[in-house]
Chains A and B, each alone.
Chain A
Amino acid sequence: MCESIQQYEPVNPAVVFSIARSRISCFTEFDRIPEKTYIHHKWYRRDSLITVKRLTINPPRWSSFTSVQLRDADKGPWRVEITDDNDNPLRTLRFSITE
């Protein structure tokens, strides 16, 4: 999880983000990809699913990210579940949105 993406790299990775940032991103990087595939970024606030985004991953190495716009009501603990195209979990990233 990071504050932004610059030059295809995550900027200021962290686990706590201020609502003042107005936007946060989930950056994922894959290598040794045999063939074109898809992954999902599932954004949850507490245990409520907020949004799901489908991303394309191309061989041999690929980076991609998703972002969400923050509102005042979004404060609290969040997580992003990264799953493959068959909904198998690959990684879960946990963070908080605060003042």
Chain B
Amino acid sequence: MGPLIPFFSGLRWQDIVDILLNSFILFRLYVLFRGTNVIRMIMAIAMLWILERMAVNMGLIVTSWAMQGIIAAAALIVIIVFRNEIASVLQTRNVKSFFWGFPRRQIQTPVEIIVESVYELASRKLGALIVLPLKKGIESVVQSGIPLQGKLSREMVLSIFWHGTPAHDGATIIQGDKISEVAAILPLSKRGDLPSYFGTRHRAAVGLVEKTDALVIVVSEERGQVTVFKDESIININDNIELDQVLREHAGALSASGGLKRQTVELSIAAMICLAGITGIWLSFARGLETLMTLEVPVEFMNREPKMEIFAASASSVKLQLSGSGTLIKSVRPDQVKVKLNLANAVAGSNQVAITRDSIALPPGIQLKRVDPQALEVTLDLPVEKTLPVQPDWTGKLADGLILEDVRMVPDKVKVVGGSLVLKDIQTIYTGKIPLEGITIGGTTTVGVILQPSLLKLEDGTRNRVDVVYKVSRRPAGVSGNDMTY
């Protein structure tokens, strides 16, 4: 027990629910499909999967690839080949039976009618071949049956096997309280150890029980003898009571307490295996070798005051260092990891918002090791409009002897949209640099406006360029421009 303690340390209640829920689902699938070929195939696939994992761990590259291919093909084959069996299991049960209870085996079959009919056939020496399927589908084994779907009755059975009727040759299949098919052809057994007095009917009965879990009743035409075939058993029926008992056991009405006890033990073992299997899978996922990974995750902001806008953030994404078992870490998708910062308490201006564990959503089983950065500076502001004058930004050197004596902007003002705190300190919008070199006379030039900081923008539809109309004059001769101050 000691070595297991580290595995189960830190087990959360969610993990226990996880294991129990999946164990229950696996157990219910077993209950629904037990006794069918599907469950055997699934077990075989599970064994292949275990072999494939072993091959991977041992570094057998080609073997592991081959196993993967076989598993994929086998899963497809199970669905295709056993589609009827799967459908019959799923269709014949109500929703409640999927989650609770243990399905009995066709106890609604009217055994008394079958017993009476068989007794009547035997007493009249009418040869008969009656099939009672159990859980395995017989559709893939039986051929050329004529669908009937008639209510089971003694008269109907006698009519079918009456001498000379078109359907008397072949097997009659009874499912529940209905005769589903007549004149069906069963596969003949190739066994050489059958008694010599067994005719074609007996050989067909043996052939069917070799391949399915159905029970087959044969009434001998020559001797009037009733024989029941089930699995490898061949039971000669001497009286109605014996036939009744055999049929009831087949139908699931387990009279003997031993049968019920056997079923309880079987289901208990199955439940334990399911629990152990899921626990093993869970441990392999959640308690594997610890692996680290770093993920850059975009930050989502929520709950900001509707009137305010985010004008700046020190980072738009954060680096998260995550740890967990190798399997879980490999399965992490970027969209499963989210960083959501709550701006409910943020105010206009600069806010330091800490990135806490509560603001990070991780997939189950993944732990957070480190966050970088641990806080973001987020600038919120109320967007406002402000009309500001435009001023030219001259650069370079005007030719000697010239004076740029006047300038006019068209338009002289622009409407700017931005945060109220930013716009509060901005009184002027400047143009891009306008070179003075080459200017000798007045004229007009067109230049773009510079919105600084870049959070500012012009009102929608406003042209980003202004005309600069300037006037140049010659410097008057003899005026030196010496200062006179007071």
A: residues with CB less than 8 A from B are: 3-8, 11-16, 18, 21, 23, 25, 44, 46-47, 64-65, 67, 75-77, 79, 92, 94, 96, 98-99
Q: Which of B386-408 contact A (CB under 8 A)?
A: 389, 391-398, 403-407
Q: For A3, what are the chain B residues with a Cβ–Cβ distance below 8 Å? A: 481
Using A67-B485, A96-B392 as known contacts, say yes or no to A18 and B398 having CB atoms under 8 A apart: yes
Q: Which of B402-425 contact A (CB under 8 A)?
A: 403-407, 425
Using A12-B479, A47-B428 as known contacts, say yes or no to A99 and B396 having CB atoms under 8 A apart: yes
Which of A5, A15, A94 neighbours the largest number of chain B CB atoms within 10 Å of its CB? A15
For the complex, give the distance between the alpha carbons of A3 and B476 in Å.
13
Q: B393, A14: Cβ atoms under 8 Å?
A: no
Using A4-B484, A5-B484, A99-B397 as known contacts, say yes or no to A15 and B426 having CB atoms under 8 A apart: no
Q: A4, B481: Cβ atoms under 8 Å?
A: yes
B211 within 8 A of A: no
Q: For A13, what are the chain B residues with a Cβ–Cβ distance below 8 Å? A: 405
For the complex, give the distance between the alpha carbons of A65 and B486 in Å.
9
Q: For B427, what are the chain A residues with a Cβ–Cβ distance below 8 Å? A: 44, 47
Interface bin, chain B: 20 to 34
Q: A79, B481: Cβ atoms under 8 Å?
A: no
Complex A-B: 22 CB contacts under 8 Å: A3-B481, A4-B482, A4-B483, A5-B484, A5-B485, A6-B482, A6-B484, A11-B481, A15-B405, A15-B470, A16-B436, A18-B397, A18-B398, A23-B483, A46-B428, A47-B426, A94-B428, A98-B394, A98-B396, A98-B397, A99-B395, A99-B396
Q: A77, B481: Cβ atoms under 8 Å?
A: no
B285 within 8 A of A: no
Q: A15, B406: Cβ atoms under 8 Å?
A: yes
Which of A3, A8, A14 neighbours the largest number of chain B CB atoms within 10 Å of its CB? A14
Q: B482, A12: Cβ atoms under 8 Å?
A: no
For the complex, give the distance between the alpha carbons of A35 and B470 in Å.
38
The number of inter-chain residue pairs (CB within 8 angstroms) is 78
Summarize B's interface: helix, strand, loop or mixed. Answer: loop
Q: Say which residue of A8, A14, A79 sits within 8 Å of B405 (CB atoms).
A: A14
Closest CB of chain B to A28's CB: distance in Å?
13
Using A3-B481, A4-B481, A5-B484 as known contacts, say yes or no to A14 and B404 having CB atoms under 8 A apart: yes
For the complex, give the distance between the alpha carbons of A94 and B392 in Å.
9
Closest CB of chain B to A10's CB: distance in Å?
10
Given A12-B481, A76-B393: 4 more A-B contacts, CB < 8 Å = A7-B484, A15-B404, A15-B406, A16-B398
Which of A3, A16, A47, A65 neighbours the largest number of chain B CB atoms within 10 Å of its CB? A16
Q: A12, B484: Cβ atoms under 8 Å?
A: no
Q: For B389, what are the chain A residues with a Cβ–Cβ distance below 8 Å? A: 92, 94
Q: Say which residue of B394, B476, B479 sits within 8 Å of A16 (CB atoms).
A: B394
B33 within 8 A of A: no
Q: B484, A16: Cβ atoms under 8 Å?
A: no
Using A6-B482, A16-B436 as known contacts, say yes or no to A79 and B391 having CB atoms under 8 A apart: yes
B311 within 8 A of A: no
Q: Which of B8-44 contact A (CB under 8 A)?
A: none
For the complex, give the distance between the alpha carbons of A13 and B407 in Å.
12
Closest CB of chain B to A1's CB: distance in Å?
10
B430 within 8 A of A: yes
Q: Say which residue of A11, A16, A46 sits within 8 Å of B404 (CB atoms).
A: A16
Q: For A8, what are the chain B residues with a Cβ–Cβ distance below 8 Å? A: 484
Q: For A5, what are the chain B residues with a Cβ–Cβ distance below 8 Å? A: 483-485
What is the chain A residue whose CB lies nearest that of B476? A12
In the A-B complex, the 4 residue pairs with the smallest Cβ-Cβ separation, listed nearest first, are A99-B397, A3-B481, A96-B394, A16-B404
For the complex, give the distance between the alpha carbons of A61 and B403 in Å.
29
What is the chain B residue whose CB lies nearest that of A5? B484
B163 within 8 A of A: no
For the complex, give the distance between the alpha carbons of A67 and B425 in Å.
25
Q: A11, B430: Cβ atoms under 8 Å?
A: no
Q: For B392, what are the chain A residues with a Cβ–Cβ distance below 8 Å? A: 77, 96
Closest CB of chain A to B358's CB: distance in Å?
42
